[in-house]
Structure 1
């Protein structure tokens, strides 16, 4: 069971709603992963492997220790979902890629994880545009 992501006391309704959204997203992600016998971390890493990636780059992107990525990749490799191969540009490092079985399982995960599509589906096209702009602004990202 996922723990709530935010504090129990929030300073605004917007902050509380954002924590609720994150909590629901996390629960839905974990549920979709569990339906396919994956941990949330395994599903997350598998999803990031649309192209061959270095394990260090994965760790940096996910903001975690390289040893965590190594363990997750080892488990995915044991399941036949990913493969490691030498990096042609640097033989000291390894690249990770999904196998055919990993591609299929990732596709099934993407079909099972419907949270964002369902949530956005409750909005009109104008509301979706507004939400996109507000989320980008809240994240400090440039507006289109």
Structure 2
């Protein structure tokens, strides 16, 4: 008689803990890479959030902070030449944040220097990569509040 491997289905709590641990480790790797380029993790995250032009208020929502905090973040990005603000075409009171080419380059360097993240992903088979991507695409809209569960 051969033995059959049994798989225990993780509880919601176990999945939440694993997801939190992976998220925290990813964030630490991201923050370390950002700091090597003189950016806080919030500033680097803002660069990632403005791959297309984004209104300041929407950027605050994407970053999970108050609009007043975004002003300081964008001020720093502007001073470094990584992003700039422009008035919205329909309402000049609304300011749109636009990433610069230099900002895109720095963001690419940060992502490229996330060594632990690249090592972790490198341990996965193609099938695991496809499965992980599929799971992320499935749960992200619900986690971000863009769709009902």
TM-score of the aligned structures, taking structure 2 as reference length:
0.74
Residue 31, structure 1, aligned to residue 23, structure 2: no
Distance in 2, Cα, partners of 1:137 & 1:52: 25
Counterparts of 1:1-144 in structure 2 under 5 Å?
Answer: 13-139=14-140, 140=142
Match of 1:4?
A: none
Give the match's secondary structure for 2:59. Answer: helix
Alpha-carbon RMSD: 2.6
Distance in 2, Cα, partners of 1:77 & 1:31: 21
Q: 1:111 to 1:134 in 2, by over 3 A?
A: closer
Distance in 2, Cα, partners of 1:15 & 1:89: 42
**What are structure 2's unaligned runs of at least 5 residues?**
1-11
Larger-Rg structure: 2
Q: 1:71 to 1:17 in 2, by over 3 A?
A: same
Q: 1:47 to 1:114 in 2, by over 3 A?
A: farther
Give the match's secondary structure for 2:98. Answer: strand
Match of 1:5?
A: none
